[in-house]
Structure 1
């Protein structure tokens, strides 16, 4: 496997790994693994304890395992930390836990979606963009990773020194980003991304590289999403490693993130979509809570099927 070693924050225009499974060293203890549609991160210096951040798409467990062996040898992670539990971030988790039976940490508000209690709000295919039209295939769960799932300890990140987690809801109720104040390093998750994830070119090629709002087809609370971007912009990060797109750093990152925080409603919030007028509250939801978007979407499929059968007759 080819490893691109960059042991300090890369310049904002630096080339990034292009092949799936490729590794990019962002700090001495932070490595990006590029996967189809998404990134995962290895957090911790080689030779010491480390954690895996997120678990990628279904079918990518072997790419993650190979990258981990490249950096950490046979040493398993001390834990897996979830920024959130959408299917492109938990897709390989069952397979990974068969190799590494370690704790899986998530925010308390994310736990119902990782313990089989509730499915995520249904993705919205009406917000615009080719990937949005495909979003009904992005299964909302419920997912069940018991008995490994644990609530994140208050404020701090377990097993790695100097890191804390920040609650950054909007994309999901329990979404978190990871922050280290000493060098202003931010592992964002999907609170913001650096590629237009709603387009095929952006999702597959990470092009163009530009700070964007969270993926719009899977963001059910835009007020919370805006507040989270504004809070992260206030940190003035030096390096941001995002769930989708290439890492960005330096003045370009701060300039574009500040601009997004100021113009979020115009630049990131979609012009149409179910959740604009039906936001999902950032609170604990149970398995019995109704999901109007799911009902609307499935009802539309049923109506289309009935119309097709009537036309055939």
Structure 2
């Protein structure tokens, strides 16, 4: 794989982009999912997009693998935009779903994610109280990822714990070819803005989506973990792939100076001074008063935006 050239971006929603002979990106509204496996053979789905996108995922899968269902679905984390199509996909495929053990309480109906933070800046952030924090319940389909770091159904890949965005967030790494699926540990678009959320802005490596990241110290540590891998190609949950010299320079800079880089730790936000402890899912249960306050801030901000545009 070239360090400087990437296949063209998929131009249509549901379009496929082959990143390696056995790695495919599928572009969905606001988010990406990935297929791991050679065309026509066994394969694994990574993440499950927004609600309403199951048809796009199935169509893309049929294009690459025909009628063969995946062996499994692996989640980088369980936010609504990464599990939205999971239920209809499971109804058709009935395959195991793997996630980090810290994610399981959020995926089995026990614990909601921390409340989204509309105070970090950006129009998408202001509307983030509308984004469901769960809990989501996918029942017995959900299983913990193997403790040895293996990725079920994906020889040569391993999962790496990269918390901060969620306490059980993982990234997937294959040393051969230096290919990193970072999930939302880093993204390549300013997700807090409307153009960024639609992935129409120029590619730039930056922090995880700020309105849904409840522990910035852990997020910073995770960026350093990923930079130490020295990946040749990074693909993320939001935005377009990044490779070559631009990747090396921006990932290294972000890791070295996360607190001061303009694409690193945000300058404001509730969770800067009220971080949610990582590795303790019960600590993620939203405090009702905090939810009301943040929701009111978001609603007021959204109303202000609408008023300005009239």
Query: TM-score under structure 2 normalisation?
Result: 0.91
2:270 to 274, 288, 296: 274
1:283 to 255, 279, 284: 279
Provide Cα deviations, 1:36-59, integer angstroms capped at 9, x if missing partner.
000000011123221000000010
Question: Alignment length, in residue pairs?
Answer: 296
> Displacement, 1:277?
0.8
2:237 to 222, 237, 243: 243
Provide Cα deviations, 1:136-171, integer angstroms capped at 9, x if missing partner.
111000100011000001211011110000000000
Q: Are the counterparts in 1 of residues 215 and 276 from structure 2 also a CA contact under 8 Å?
A: yes
Find the counterpart in structure 2 of residue 133 from structure 1: 126
For residues 125 and 9 of structure 1, the distance between their equivalents in structure 2, rounded to whole angstroms, comes to 39
2:249 to 251, 255, 262: 255
> Displacement, 1:251?
1.8
Is 1:161 matched up with 2:161?
no
Find the counterpart in structure 2 of residue 191 from structure 1: 185
Q: Are the counterparts in 1 of residues 111 and 281 from structure 2 also a CA contact under 8 Å?
A: yes
1:202 to 196, 200, 205: 196
Query: Structure 1 pair 271/216, CA: closer, same or farther in 2 (3 Å)?
Result: same
1:228 to 218, 222, 225: 222
Extract structure 1 runs of 4+ deviating beyond 4 A.
Answer: 299-305
> Displacement, 1:10?
7.1
1:82 to 75, 82, 100: 75
SS at match of 1:41: strand
Q: Are the counterparts in 2 of residues 170 and 224 from structure 1 also a CA contact under 8 Å?
A: yes
For residues 265 and 202 of structure 2, the distance between their equivalents in structure 1, rounded to whole angstroms, comes to 19
Query: TM-score under structure 1 normalisation?
Result: 0.90
> Tell me, which stretches of 5 or more residues in structure 1 are unaligned?
1-7, 306-313
Find the counterpart in structure 1 of residue 31 from structure 2: 38
> Tell me, which stretches of 5 or more residues in structure 2 are unaligned?
301-310
Query: Structure 1 pair 19/300, CA: closer, same or farther in 2 (3 Å)?
Result: closer
Q: CA RMSD in A?
A: 1.9
